[in-house]
A and B are shown apart, each in its own frame.
Chain A
Amino acid sequence: MSVWDDVRPVIASGDQRRLVAALRGLGPEERRTVADALPGYLRSERSRRGWINAGLAYTLLLAGVATIGGPAAAATWAARSDLRGWSGDSRSAKRLAGLVAEVLGHRTPEWRAEFARRVGEGLRPNRVDEEQSLWHITARLTRDAGLPPPDGDAFVLGWIRWAVDRMPGPGDLACDPYLDTLTPRLFEADGVGALLQWEAGLPESQASWGRTLAILARDGRLKRDLLLDGCVRRFLRGGRPQDLRWFVWLHDLLEPTPQETAARLRDYLRLLPAASGPVADVAFREVRRADEDDPLAAGDFTEAAEALLFRPEKKLVRAALVWMGRTARARGRVDATLCAAATAFAHEDLDLRERAVKLAVRHAAKAADEARHQVREAAVDLPADLRALVAESCGPLDAPSAPPPPAGPPPYSPRPAPVPIASPAELAEELAAQARGTREWADTERLLAGLVEHAHRDPGGTREALARVVPDAFPWAEHVNDPLDTGHLDGGLAAGARAIVWHHLGHARSTPMSAFLRDVADADRDPAFERFRTWRIHAAVQAVGRAPVLLATPTEADGHVDPDVLVERMALLEEAGVKPSLPDLNQALLRVPRDIGADAVRRARGFTSPAGRIVAGWLGGGGLPPLDVTCAPLTLPRPTYLGYPTYRTQDVPATRVLATVTLPDDTPEVISRLCRLPQTGTWTRLFTGWLSWTGWWPSALPSQREVVAAHLLPYLPETVDDRAGQGATLLALSEADGPAGPATATALAYGLAARHRDERSAATDALLTFCSRGRLSGRELGTALATAVTLENLKLKRITEALTDAARAGAHAEIWDALAAALPGLLPTGDERPLTGLPDLVALATQCAETVGARTTIPELAPFASRPATGRLVREAARLHRTLTGPGR
């Protein structure tokens, strides 16, 4: 019997003690036998069990380390990823390390050192608990050999994670063998800050690395300079706030003395301009303390002040202005303070700008001419009230430079018109592409039109081209009874393609034609527009191979169908003797623009079929007139989830802006069903239905923008916090035609308050398109904004951001109009609590008013102007009032 037969069952048992005993007496030859058999055994066990459990992993690791001849090969074996005891249990990891030391007892010290070095180097900083055993093995062997520990980042991180079982108290750490060697490395190894970042939030009673180090420094066990320098050096190296938070906290715990701060003053100064926020706070505090103790040198003060005033954090800029103001005279640096404050005159934040000006003005009397001159230069382009302040204290100012001409919103350029699919080959390509998923409804309409047209024009060529892609694109379509049963758009495409390629299977038979004409109870999830589209898809698929063309395919990007093209298509149908489907015909009628050429009307008069005569009548009558839309806030029951303890849904009254659309009595049935709102005649409850990807809706009614907006109103408030493609919908709305009224303005308001930047930025684009086309009055938008914010608790911060973007893009005048209309509804009256974020909105209004030179009065602002300036809102409102009523530029 060979030695392997003795050892194998012991390995398999997972009993580490027995294994160590079994390995103890082996000679070199026997060890080699075991070592050679191990890889094969591991392989077979892995394939037999599927995985290696912790017990077996540890015995395998021990057996390998004990028997493999070279230190490099043994280290590689120990570091195998399938032998990691991933339990994260420190006791078993430590025991394993002890046993490894025991089985390596017969090796030379050099062998053991080399083995430990290689295992230590193999540690990875990103791996977490699974490497605990390897860390303990390295630690144990280096310590036994009296060697210094490896100083790689991973070993340092391991020390923090695993050296002590719980958070170390001062007692544990004071006698830790690595304290002196590894403490300096805490400040260098990448990842320490991220690992310890949560300590700062622990209660004081709980032990932590930070507090323990601070205590050891207090007791003299560690040098304070080592820790303080370590923190400052770490700050200089930079990093993300979460990587530095712990060092900031440790620095605070150490409470540097004035001498210590003075010694590091240069470093603190250099941290001011670019360090991350919390670090800059600390550096500023230390600079301030050093200044208290011993006034800063002139150059240092200027460096600090200019760096602080350039910081993006308003809080820091404000604090710096306060500090500069308090110390200017006491430290004898009035001139330097004035010059530094002048650099903040161009600050974007109006409040900070005013503070900087007032700081300069306050000290101007004591300043030298040169400094006053600099202040005057910087003040030239300030608004009139601040110019007057500066002129009073520093002398007369030069005339302001001519204001740049207002840019105006960017010009609107319509999207290019869709191009029909030109050949069966292109059709095949488009079908393959759309079968992959992501597509827009406009593309799918183009594809459906292509299927119908090419199947009619060149049946053989189309079948040949599609046969190459359809089996790959829709492998399932050959085996289902009816692809339309799936109810997805994919099913529609597959059904259309199948009708061409596998025409022996026949046309899809599903006929949900009447579904649209039935009343559907669940309007929440199945609005008229979506039902109408399903009907159209089914009708289009059934036209493949039968009709020469679809009537309703858009010829413009916004969804319109050119009347001349419509007449040509209708002529083709008459010629082929084919009747257009009901949804196709009605959609085509709805897509006729308001502007119809006489030629099309004349040619249409020649149609003889019933459908042709409908088209002729419609074109002759000028299409659908703008429909009547009214908009008002309604209070209705809204299903609301109650949560704990009942987990029930209950109707709770809520108020939302809803619209009503009424149509003339002679409107065709299908069109009336699609457009009228509410479907049942009266609003009875609010929806909570979540509807996404409504971007195609405007293209269904391209000349009735307000009607589309009216249909969107019940759903849009529910999408504010989500990515539901509402931005794209608003963009399409802005590019469509027809009157824009309160419904459109309200829809836009929800988009401007979207939580996600991409949706909001699309809504801003829509706003700019409206502005440049002159289609939406700012006043209307402002009123809608105020109502929507009040009813739906929209976040003002987001709206301010979106409006700021639009103003910067050139729409100052329109944004000013909107804000002038919105503010009366948003400003608090009496003891009302002001809305969060209102001051910033008022500040934006001031900026816009300054740019366009607005001189209107807003009576609601007047009470603020006479109040003492206690809060930011009062200050901003008073400033706006001054801008509107003051002397002007």
Chain B
Amino acid sequence: MATAQAYAYTRPSGLAGDLLGLATSGGVTGSGPAAHPHFFSGLLTRPAPAAAALLGLADVAQARYHQPRLTGMRDPVVTCNGDRLRMESFSACCGVYARLDVLQPALDGEVHERGTTNVDVIGPLREALARVGGTDPLHLAVGDDELAVTTLDGAVVEKKVPLPERWLRGFAEVQVIAAGFDLRAELGRAEAVRFLRGLPQSGRGELWAVPAGRSLRLSSRPVPGAVCLAGPQRLATAHPLLRFARALRVYGPPVTAGSPPVASAWELELPGMRYVLTLSPEVRRGFSGEGAVLESLATDEAAGDADLLGALLAFEPRVEPDVLAERSGLPLERVRAALTQLGTSGRVGYDTAEAAHFHRELPYDPDRVAAMNPRLRAARALADGGAVRFTAPGLAVVTVDGRARQVRLDGDQGSCTCPWWADHRGGRGPCKHVLAARMVHRATRADEEVASR
């Protein structure tokens, strides 16, 4: 289902003299919703890498990597977490997530407010950003107040871009997937340049980057410690940044020999900032269908806890689970599950470099972001409709349209005989039959506990 997102800016973003003015549209701030929030005014002390990275974000927002063609662009999202600015964009193919974290050393100015909104990156601004060079500091204003004096003309900018549900869900869920990543390799400048420039220009299949010596090498198969690299062309937006790069850090989930392709994060360290690209497991596969979070969403408890925690967040640059546990009175495990839930509704992001969540509210209709995953919806219908019948401990038959599917539950593992399972073997999370069986299993266990008490 695709409804349109309307962006409304009071004026276009632009670069006038040495002032880079980014116009904002509707968003959420620490003090509530705002039509054109004003976050920051001050100096960008490293303008050239910041400008180049912003261009990278705009390129990602416009890209459809699996099937390149012109596409409407969904504006980057900016979050002011107090000591840093984070700008995020998500590709139109739902397979690449890019984030630029401008950290304290690169910022010198005043934070007016914390919060999240969209910023407008348009053609003339792209030109202006490409002209930024050298080391002279650049003034940056995110929000409205100063823009009035600086921007090219006073025209109101309004645009409408389709916003499919899967795009929204992918944008939110990529954070939850990234939360399962660990650092796999760190390359110095020279090795980073050599590795990224040596990548093949295109490719549909997935490759695996394996730490070797001080660098990475591409391999055709996974081994423990390897990072999946599907579609190396999707790292292209990092290439113009290589001249500023200080290091490349690579993150991914644990893999073993024979693992299916997985997601990965590629973080370029720039002076005073970080540029991160998170890639989906395959070029033609978006993040929305990954189902990494379904198991933890299947409980009702998490939803309640998430509401509780959501109220405690205040655009922190780092969300500390133990602090939240203390303030909310919830055990640490439930805080983590609730953070996953908040991630799927777009209310927290995950920073692999800090290995911590950060608070942000995606500036889109919150109800749509939080709308239930279709697979979860189907599973709940099966469970409620009595389609699940346990024939032995850990062995259930789920009947859908007269067809019997056999589900095996073994601890955390679940497997099924449906074609979808056969095709992915758990690589995209549990199927609806496994989810339904687990729901029924959990409910009967809870009933038994009550009865035995």
Residues on A close to B: CB < 8 A?
125-126, 188, 190-191, 233, 236-238, 266-267, 269-271, 273-274, 299, 303, 307, 310, 312, 346, 348, 404, 407, 410, 413, 415-416, 425-426, 428-429, 432-436, 465, 468-469, 472, 727-728, 731, 757-759, 761-762, 764-765, 805, 808-810
Contact = CB atoms under 8 A, between A and B. Distances in A.
Interface in B392-423: 395, 397, 403-406, 408, 415-419, 421-423
Interface string B213-230: 111011111011000000
Interface stretch (B2-10, B202-210, B346-354, B358-366): B202-210
A188 B126 contact: no
Contacts of B224: 413
A348 B417 contact: no
B403 A269 contact: no
B32 interface: no
B287 to A, nearest CB: 23
B133 A469 contact: no
Contact of B190 (A191, A271, A312, A346): A346
A433 B406 contact: no
Nearest to B131: A270
Contacts of B218: 761, 805
B217 A303 contact: no
Interface string B221-258: 10110000000000000011011000000000000011
Interface string B115-139: 0000000010011001111100000
Which 7 interchain pairs have the tightest Cβ spacing? A274-B240, A433-B422, A762-B220, A236-B130, A407-B213, A432-B417, A809-B212
A348 B194 contact: yes
Nearest to A438: B423
A190 B122 CA distance: 12
Nearest to A306: B243
Contacts of A805: 217-218
B453 interface: no
Contacts of B176: none
Given A237-B126, A310-B242, A433-B421, 5 more contacts: A303-B133, A432-B417, A465-B406, A757-B207, A764-B219
A758 B243 contact: no
Contacts of B130: 236-238, 270-271, 274
Nearest to A808: B217
Given A270-B131, A757-B203, A762 B221 contact: yes
A125 B72 CA distance: 11
A236 B240 contact: no
B197 interface: yes
B220 A808 contact: no
B155 interface: no
B200 interface: yes
A233 B126 CA distance: 9
Contacts of B77: none
B327 interface: no
Contact of A757 (B200, B210, B213): B200
Contacts of B239: 274
Given A407-B212, A761-B220, A307 B243 contact: yes
A410 B70 contact: no
Nearest to A464: B391
21 contacts: A126-B69, A236-B131, A238-B59, A267-B131, A270-B130, A407-B213, A426-B408, A428-B417, A429-B408, A433-B421, A433-B422, A435-B422, A436-B423, A465-B406, A728-B220, A757-B207, A761-B207, A761-B220, A809-B210, A809-B217, A810-B213
Contact of B417 (A233, A468, A728): A468
A425 B408 contact: yes
A236 B125 CA distance: 10
A559 B240 CA distance: 48
A809 B226 CA distance: 13
Interface in B181-204: 190, 194, 197, 200, 203
Contact of B123 (A237, A404, A413, A425): A237
A180 B103 CA distance: 46
Interface of B: 52, 55, 59, 69-70, 123, 126-127, 130-134, 190, 194, 197, 200, 203, 205, 207, 210, 212-215, 217-221, 223-224, 239-240, 242-243, 257-258, 395, 397, 403-406, 408, 415-419, 421-423, 425
B355 to A, nearest CB: 27
Given A236-B130, A468-B417, A472-B403, A416 B257 contact: yes
A303 B404 CA distance: 69
Contact of A303 (B55, B134, B418): B134
Of A271, A348, A426, A429, chain B has the most CB atoms within 10 Å of the CB of A429
B14 to A, nearest CB: 14
Contact of B131 (A266, A415, A432): A266
B133 A188 contact: no
Given A236-B126, A310-B243, A758-B207, A126 B200 contact: no
Contacts of A273: 240, 243
A438 to B, nearest CB: 8
Contacts of B203: 757-758
B371 to A, nearest CB: 28
A765 B127 contact: no
Nearest to B392: A425
A425 B405 CA distance: 11
Contact of A761 (B194, B214, B219, B243): B219
B410 to A, nearest CB: 10
A822 B128 CA distance: 53
Contacts of B207: 757-758, 761
A67 to B, nearest CB: 30
B223 A413 contact: yes
A478 B123 CA distance: 64
A805 B198 CA distance: 10
Given A410-B212, A805-B218, A809-B212, A468 B131 contact: no
Contacts of A237: 123, 126-127, 130
B70 A126 contact: yes
A404 B213 CA distance: 10
A808 B123 CA distance: 41
Contacts of A191: 70
Contacts of A303: 133-134
A305 to B, nearest CB: 13
Contacts of B423: 436
A840 B32 CA distance: 62
A436 B422 contact: yes
Contacts of A269: 133
A236 B51 CA distance: 12
A731 B221 contact: yes
Nearest to A811: B212
B95 to A, nearest CB: 18
B258 A415 contact: yes
Contacts of B123: 188, 237
Of B127, B224, B415, B422, chain A has the most CB atoms within 10 Å of the CB of B422
A238 B133 contact: no
B97 to A, nearest CB: 21
A825 B358 CA distance: 61
Contacts of A307: 243
Contacts of A432: 417-419, 422
A728 B205 CA distance: 14
A299 B135 CA distance: 11
A314 B425 CA distance: 45
B415 A429 contact: yes
A273 B221 CA distance: 35
Contact of B213 (A274, A436, A808): A808
A469 B133 CA distance: 64
Contact of A468 (B210, B243, B397): B397
A238 B217 contact: no
Contacts of A468: 397, 404-406, 417
A246 to B, nearest CB: 16
Contacts of A810: 212-213
B362 to A, nearest CB: 26
Contacts of A433: 417, 421-422, 425
